[in-house]
Amino acid sequence: MCGRFVVAAAGPELVSVLRVDLVADDLPAPSYNIAPTDQVAIVLDSAKSDPPTRRLEPARWGLVPAWAKDVSIGARAFNARAEELEDKPMFRTAFHKRRAVVPASGYYEWKHVPGPDGKIQKIPHYIHPGDGRPMFFAGLYEWFKDPAKADDDPERWVLSFTILTRDSIGRLGSIHDRMPLFLDPDFADTWLDPTLDNARDVLDAAIDAAPALAEQLDDHVVSKAVGNVRNDTPELIEPVS
């Protein structure tokens, strides 16, 4: 499961990789400790234009479906199990029509190990591409119209997203039993295409390709300071003994 991640570069730096057409003006600043409900830059293909327009937009982490009563439901929908998307009403429609790519520099995961006193300790690891290039998570997005806000309130429409996960493999499996569903940037066009009618096949292809991408990642132990969401500095991703 992915509950914290890092975006160390400004959003526009990702445009050349994913061939984005439009970049929003209000993208969030780089962050070394992104947590659920934070604003994050995501990539989506808008089906309102023909051909679809690829956009880099700020979105709230934690999917809020259109039928929700308020945004609070999203706080527990920051991850979605890839193998269960069609079984969950919260994710089913977005899976078929509103897929997103979430660019990141890396993410944190906590490994549970026995301490010297026999109690379980949680050791944070930072998992990232060794060459410094961005990584990409498969995601889903939704638009939510907040009924508590006035029609002319610019914050009435909320764009939100979730990150897909799958079973971990190899070295990452020794840290945690789940990992984000990684995407190759060359596969982004297929994943984002809102006109596809074979979303299940596209998802299966992404699940099958993810282990090879995971094997290319590095990891190291980092400070437990990352456990406090108030901490947000580059030092959080530095290795510690």
CATH of the domain at 25: 3.90.1680.10
Which domain does 135 fall in, by range? 4-237
User: Whole-angstrom Cα distance, residue 191 to residue 181?
Assistant: 12
Amino acid at 21: D
Return phi, psi of residue 236, to 5°: -65, -30
3-class secondary-structure state, position 91: helix
- Of 92, 80, 66, nearest in space to 178 by CA: 80
Q: Residue 205 — very low, low, confident or very high, per pLDDT cuts 50/70/90? A: very high
pLDDT at residue 99, as a whole number: 98
Average pLDDT (147-153) is 84
Tens-digit pLDDT profile for residues 119-131: 899 999 999 999 9
* Predicted confidence (pLDDT) per residue in 76-126, tens digit: 999 999 999 999 999 999 999 999 999 999 999 999 998 888 889 999 999
Structure letter (DSSP) for residue 97: H
Q: How many Å apart are CA 61 and CA 82, to the nearest integer?
A: 17
- CA dihedral (149, 28, 5, 10) in degrees, to 10, reads 160
What is the average per-residue pLDDT within 4-29? 88
Three-state helix/strand/coil letters over 13-68: HHHHHHCCCEECCCCCCCEEEECCCCEEEEEEEECCCCCCEEEEEEEEECCCCCCC
Q: Which helix (H) or strand (E) holds 171?
A: helix 170-173
pTM to 2 decimal places: 0.95
The pLDDT mean for the chain works out to 93
Count of domains for the chain: 1
User: Given pLDDT bands bounded at 50, 70 and 90, which one contains residue 241?
Assistant: confident
